[in-house]
């Protein structure tokens, strides 16, 4: 009996939304195995069984996020969470901060019954004041299955936490499903005190089946090859084309808000589906947002649909400046950009403070709308 994941994948092959790629076969097999394993429920009064997760790695555009989208949507596990890895770690750091700064009442308000949980990890801590055990217990209470996109480790603070955190999560039978551009052995390469991080690499290989996804074709690039990605003006025909491309790219994946933690703030992108995000110009540029907000969005999503970009007068120079910062973040991340705008890029901000600098942004918008974007090999 095929799993819901296999059925969904085969249906997309049959109706032309996907093309069969032998390089994805091993990853699909492991995700199929994980789907079956998660469907096995523990007996009465028995702890959930240990389930080996999956770590998919390879270059961008080979279908890792698509496979993760399908797996997450089809997983029978009711207690599951999907997050960009950086967003997850930002929350972990915030929980650790709250534990360390809070008194007993403040800790109880955040961690509740998990304030003294964590099994042996808790008992080993000096005086029971180690934040890792209660943080892990709280996360485990929220989700048995953790799905991470873009798993990478570049920060020493993350590197020093990960081994102990995931050891504690494993005690709670939390299961991982991960995508990354790096093989586990290349994580935190050349990082400070990397020798302290190496045991975590061994742990990943123990608790996850590591599968390379490295086909010859860049499906993300090919999917939009030759397609219009700049729609104008703000009229029904252009809007219909923009909406049709969103529907095609999203498929039947459900839309949901994504919460990004940026400098302790909750930045919400209301319409997202896997690695796709959709927002209006007013959502992203008419509100007081900073560079870190845009960097977080560019890191989390591989494609942004940006609608209702107006022609800006000189009185809207702040919004023009934010648009410049947003495009810079997307450009450096080599993200895809689909735009519904009132005019061509060069006509969006013809005069006003910063109009000369905007010419560079218009050039980047042209490049990002071309068939050669993103650059091959990136």
Higher pLDDT, 30 or 224: 30
Length of the chain: 378
Q: What are phi and psi for residue 289, nearest 5 degrees?
A: -115, 155
Tell me: pLDDT of 121 over 80: no
CA 109 to chain CA mean position, Å: 29
Could you tell me which of 42, 65, 4, 1 has the C-alpha nearest to residue 219?
65
Cα dihedral 136, 138, 140, 145 sign? negative
pLDDT cut 90: percent of the chain above it:
45
Note the pLDDT tens digit of each residue in 8-42. 888 888 887 777 788 888 999 999 999 999 988 76
Which ranges in 53-197 belong to alpha helices (H)?
Answer: 64-74, 85-101, 104-111, 119-124, 132-142, 156-171
Tell me: pLDDT of 226 over 90: no
Tell me: pLDDT of 341 over 70: yes
CB count, 10 Å around CB of 24? 23
Higher pLDDT, 101 or 29: 29
Domains of the chain (ranges; CATH) run: 4-212 (3.40.50.300), 224-368 (3.40.50)
- N- to C-terminal Cα distance for the chain? 39
Tell me: pLDDT of 116 over 70: no
């Amino acid at each position: 009996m095929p799993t819901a994941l296999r059925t969904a994948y085969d249906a997309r092959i049959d109706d032309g939304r996907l093309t069969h790629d032998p390089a994805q076969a091993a990853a699909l097999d492991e995700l199929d195995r994980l789907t079956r394993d998660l469907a096995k429920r523990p007996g009465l009064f028995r702890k959930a069984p240990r389930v080996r997760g999956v770590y998919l790695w390879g270059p961008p555009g080979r279908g890792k996020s698509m496979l993760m989208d399908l797996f997450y949507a089809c997983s029978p596990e009711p207690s599951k969470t999907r997050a960009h890895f950086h967003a997850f770690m930002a929350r972990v750091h915030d929980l650790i901060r709250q534990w360390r700064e809070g008194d007993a009442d403040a800790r109880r308000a955040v961690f509740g019954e998990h304030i003294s949980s964590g099994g042996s990890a808790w008992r080993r801590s000096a005086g029971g004041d180690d934040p890792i055990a209660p943080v892990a217990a709280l996360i485990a209470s929220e989700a048995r299955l953790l799905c991470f996109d873009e798993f990478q480790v570049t920060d020493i603070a993350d590197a020093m936490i990960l081994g102990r955190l995931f050891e504690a999560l494993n005690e709670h039978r939390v299961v991982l499903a991960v995508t990354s551009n790096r093989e586990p052995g290349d994580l935190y390469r050349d990082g400070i005190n990397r020798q302290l991080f190496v045991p975590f690499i061994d742990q990943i290989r123990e608790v996850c089946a590591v599968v390379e996804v490295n086909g010859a074709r860049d499906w993300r690039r090919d999917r939009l090859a030759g397609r219009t990605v700049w729609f104008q003006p703000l009229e029904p025909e252009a809007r219909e084309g923009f909406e049709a491309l969103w529907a095609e790219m999203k498929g039947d994946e459900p839309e949901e808000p994504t919460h990004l933690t940026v400098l302790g703030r909750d930045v919400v992108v209301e319409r997202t589906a896997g690695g796709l995000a959709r927002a209006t110009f007013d959502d992203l540029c008419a509100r007081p947002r900073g560079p870190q907000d845009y960097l977080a969005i560019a890191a989390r999503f591989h494609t942004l649909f940006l609608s209702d970009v107006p022609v800006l007068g000189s009185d809207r120079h702040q919004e023009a400046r934010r648009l410049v910062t947003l495009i810079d973040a997307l450009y450096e991340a080599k993200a895809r950009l689909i735009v519904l705008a009132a005019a061509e890029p060069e006509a969006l901000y013809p005069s006003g403070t910063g109009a000369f600098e905007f010419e560079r942004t218009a050039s980047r918008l042209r490049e990002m709308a071309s068939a050669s974007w993103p650059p091959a090999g990136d």
